[in-house]
Structure formats: structure tokens, C-alpha cells
Structure 1
């Protein structure tokens, strides 16, 4: 009788533990799906930023003089520009210059980030920073391109873009966004598993010679990073994170609890059947 009571208590405890584990596992999965999968942001390391940004402004862009306030709306963190009460455009620096994080790893070889600008004046520019984390082994080539969405071709006629890799200072492309090559590339090589971090500075801008017919126009593009299929086999699972640990923890507890619960339930039923014989 005492043994039956202990088994019954153990079954109840395990059932509660199983329910808690399943709820925690489900909550973690939902969080990762809805929250954690959204691009995060980090501060751009100081040693990767050119001290005098004015010296690296795209050729042909200047501070814009005007009489009305201009506000550019964007998606993803970066820098913008507004026209102050004195009529001179002021560059607004996002806190510490944040970079949107892109992750490329095994079974996740590409990612898109939407980019939007509107109400740009001749000489205006919009700068974004991106950190591309690539988990790989051996050799992979990281590709980037800006794809202008259909219906926004008008502003694309004059919208230029400059892509600078902050790790090396290399200007990867500087010209019309619509005339970009198939992709700009950067090769990574490592004999062992590694996670590289590439910092991109992407500046969209209008020359001061752009006509007034392009004002009040909008442009939406997709910034895409990817690794081609021939290199995708060299992408690896990124190092364990807190989310991965939580998934394994709650998944393991649920599995163990379920197995022990089934074992105790089967054992209890067999004993009851033996006693009834």
C-alpha cells in the first residue's frame, strides 16, 4: 500500500514537471520565433569608424540648405538628416552608431533587410550600419546587393549608394543603386570553425545636381546578404547561445520526465493487473 502511494506521488510530480517543461519549451520557441529572430542591434566598434566622417562623404553630396523641415523615415537603425530652423542640414547620429545584426549559418544562408527613404533633397544622404556574422569553416564568399522593389523606379533613377567594408576600409561599390553589379563580394577563409563579423557602412545619397522632380518621392529596397549554394555546405551551426541552452534544458527535462512517467504508469498498471489475477 505504501509503495503504491509513493508511485502515485511520483507520477503526479513527474506529470507536473512534464507540463512545466513543455510550457517553458513552447514559450522559448515562441519567443525565438517572434522576438529573437528579429534582427538585433549592436554598437559599431570605435576602431572601425573613420574619425572624420565628413572626409568620407560620397562625392557630390553636401549639406543641404532649405527653408522647410525635412524628415526622412527609415527602417532599421542608422543615421539620418533633418533641416534645422537655421536652414542647414544636420547629421543625426543614432546612439553610438548602432548596426543591425545579420546572421548567416548552416541552413540559413541568406537574409534580407528592408530599406526605405522618402522626402530626400539634393545632397541628402542616409547611412546604415550592418554587422554580418558568418559561422563557417574552410572558405565562403559573402555576397551583398540592394534590390529596388517594383514601383519605386523613379527615385532609383538618381539614387546612389556607397558600400564600405569597415573591417578593411574598402569601398566595395559607389554608384547608382539600380546599376549595382550582380553582387559585391568578400571572401572568408579559415581552416577551422569560426564566426567572422563583417561591418558594412551603406550610404544612400543624392547628388546636389538632382532635379526637383525627384523630391517627395519614395524608395524601398531590399538589402540582401547571402552565401551561394556552392559555399553553403561550409556554413556551420553558430556557437551555443543562451537560447540554445534553454531549448536543450527544457527539451531534455520534458523528455526525461515523459519517459520516467510512462515507465511508472506501465509498471503500476502491470502490478495492478497481477494483483487482480
Structure 2
């Protein structure tokens, strides 16, 4: 009788553990799905934005910012295309947020809309983007701004400056309508990694632009993609690892529960 009571307690404990494991596994899978569909935003690292560049908020308009590249020296670039030399730190209060773009084996391309409107000559608008690339070997990250139909008016005079903050390199500075088919940056890694590229994209109007282009809106799609899909990997997240652990816990507890129930049933049949 005492043995049956102990077996019953163990069965209850295993049943509770199995239920918790299934709930945790379901929560992990749901979180991973939501993370893939809406990666959100991250803070641009301190060493990538100099004080001269960090004078406003993410969507602030800064009058009088004409074309041209940054005069600050570019940090050293590693073989994988990341910045290795520190730059002056930004203050915590002025931290910039970057929208996240994810490129991996199930998503070799991604895009986000960019909107500007009611701009006056000399106005500018800057946004930041963090492109997370999960890959191995060698890949080339492409970027292109595509103006949506019906917004060609402002595109005739709107200038855009695309800067890769990891290297300090200005990839393009000119008319958005005249942008090349793609702006590229090469990455290389012998092992599977998830690397972050930070883009600073500034749209601005030259002070010489006439009144005919005021009160005009523009919507464009900012697109990033990788053509070497065979070199793309799954993103490195802790969700996959946690999912495996909870699945293993569920299998173990379920297996033990089955064996104990089977043993209990045989003992009951033997007592009859």
C-alpha cells in the first residue's frame, strides 16, 4: 500500500512537469514566431555615432544639412566588415534607435517603408537601421531605395545619403531617383555568425529647391537582400536552445509517466 502511494505521488509530479514543459514549449514557439514577424528596434551602439552626428532624435529634421560626407576618420574594418576602432561615445540620453532588418536562410530579403513629407529647402530627416545577417562563408548585402508609384514629384529633387556606420563609409550621396540598382557591402566569416550592420540614411532637400516641391510627400521602400542564399543560416537566438530543453524535459517526463502508469496498472491487475 505504501509503495502504491509513493507511485501515485510520483505520477502526479511527472504529470505536472509534463504540463509545464508543454506550456513553456508553446510559449517559446509563440515568442519566436512573434520575434520573426516583428523584430522591433535596437539601440545603435555608442561607438558608431559621433557627437557631431548625434545632435537630434531619430526622426528629427535638421535645417541646413546639405550634401556631403562626414569629415571624421573612418574606423578600421575587419575582414568580416565590422568596425574595430572605437569612436567618441554618445550620451545615454541621446541614444538612437534603429529599426531591425533580419536576413537569414528563410528570409533572404527584407524591406521597410520610408516616408517624408512637408519638407522645406534645407530640411533633412535621418533614420537608422540595423541589418542582422545570419550567414557563413561569404555574402554580399545589397541595399536599394525604391520610390512607390505616385510619389515621383518629390523624388525629382530629394537627396539621400546612405552611410554604413560600421565602417564610416558613405555608400551613396545623391538624388534618390538616381540611386544605383544596389549599394553593396561584403561580409566574410569562416564560422556561422549573425552580424549586425548599422545604416544611417538621411533624406534632405537642397536649399536651392523651389517652392513647387514643398508640401509634397514621398514614400519609398528601403530594401536589403542577399543573393548567396546558400550561405545564409538560421538566426542565432536563445529561443531554439530553450525550445530543445523544454522539449527534452517533456519527452523525459512523458516517458517516465507512461512507464509508471503502466507499472501501476500491472500491480493493480496482480492484486485482483
TM-score w.r.t. the length of structure 1 is 0.75
- The counterpart of 2:250, out of the listed 254, 260, 269, is 254
Is the Cα–Cα contact under 8 Å of residues 60 and 126 in structure 2 kept in the other structure?
yes
Aligned to 1:130: 129
Q: How does 1:20-99 map to 2 (within 5 A)?
A: 20-34=20-34, 37-46=38-47, 48-50=48-50, 52-53=52-53, 78-81=58-61, 95-99=94-98
In the alignment, is the contact (CA less than 8 A) between 2:44 and 2:198 conserved in 1? no
Q: Does 1:236 align with 2:229?
A: no
Which runs of 5 or more structure 2 residues have no equivalent in the other structure?
66-90
Map 1:1-277 → 2, pairs under 5 A: 1-34=1-34, 37-46=38-47, 48-50=48-50, 52-53=52-53, 78-81=58-61, 95-228=94-227, 231-241=228-238, 243-273=239-269, 275-276=271-272
Deviation at 1:275, TM superposition (A): 4.8
**C-alpha RMSD of the superposition:** 2.9
- 1:40/1:251 CA distance change after superposition, 3 Å: farther
Query: Are the equivalent residues in 2 in contact too, given 1:137–1:192 (CA < 8 A)?
Result: yes
Q: What is the TM-score of this pair, normalised by structure 2?
A: 0.76
CA contact (8 A) 1:42 1:101 kept: no
* Structure 2 CA distance for aligned equivalents of residues 136 and 250 of structure 1: 27
Structure 1 residue runs without a partner (length 5+): 55-76, 83-87
Number of aligned residue pairs: 243
**How far is the alpha carbon of 1:158 from its aligned partner?**
2.4
Write the deviation string for residues 105-160 of structure 1: whole angstroms up to 9, x where unpaired. 33232222222222211221111122223232211111111222333333223222
